[in-house]
């Protein structure tokens, strides 16, 4: 979409690049960045329902508001991942792995395909 505006009497000609600002003040608004300029404008107060609010959560936008989604993918749920990354877990299923990985991989080499037994042929 090409827009024509003026700033301090000088004409501005720019194109809008629309994007969703994840996590900002209004994470569920449709914002557009003016290509070549360092500002954005709100083009709509709400994005499409179901749009993710933040890159680091499952929360989604509904009617222009960010709504919490638990790790069980249920809207409004308080379910969270434990330290083992198990949804709703108690942290008791983690396997502690200690030591160092010292094996080196061969450089280059031939490509092959895995057989059903897992061996490279």
Residue 98: inside a domain: no
Residue 93: inside a domain: no
What local confidence, expressed as pLDDT, does residue 33 receive?
Answer: 72
CA neighbours within 13 Å on the CB side: how many for 120?
4
Number of structural domains in the chain: 1
Residue 29: inside a domain: yes
Residue 108: inside a domain: no
Confidence of residue 6 (pLDDT cuts 50, 70, 90): very low
Q: How far, CA to CA in Å, does 7 sit from each of 10, 40, 96? A: 5, 15, 61
What local confidence, expressed as pLDDT, does residue 39 receive?
Answer: 74
Q: Which domain covers residue 36, as residue numbers?
A: 2-67
47-60 pLDDT, tens per residue? 999 999 888 899 99
What average pLDDT does this structure show over 49-72? 93
pTM higher than 0.85 for the full model? no
Residue 62: inside a domain: yes
């Amino acid at each position: 979409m090409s827009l024509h505006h003026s700033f301090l009497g000088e004409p501005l000609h720019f194109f809008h690049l629309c994007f969703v600002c994840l996590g900002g003040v209004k994470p569920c608004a449709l914002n557009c960045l003016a290509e070549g300029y360092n500002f954005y404008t709100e083009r709509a107060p709400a994005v499409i329902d179901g749009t993710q609010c933040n890159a680091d959560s499952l929360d989604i936008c509904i009617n222009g508001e960010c709504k919490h989604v638990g790790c069980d993918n249920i809207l409004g749920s308080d379910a969270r991942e434990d330290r083992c990354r198990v949804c709703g877990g108690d942290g008791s299923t983690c396997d502690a792995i200690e030591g160092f990985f010292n094996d080196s991989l061969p450089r280059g080499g031939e490509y092959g395909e895995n057989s059903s037994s897992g061996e490279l042929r």
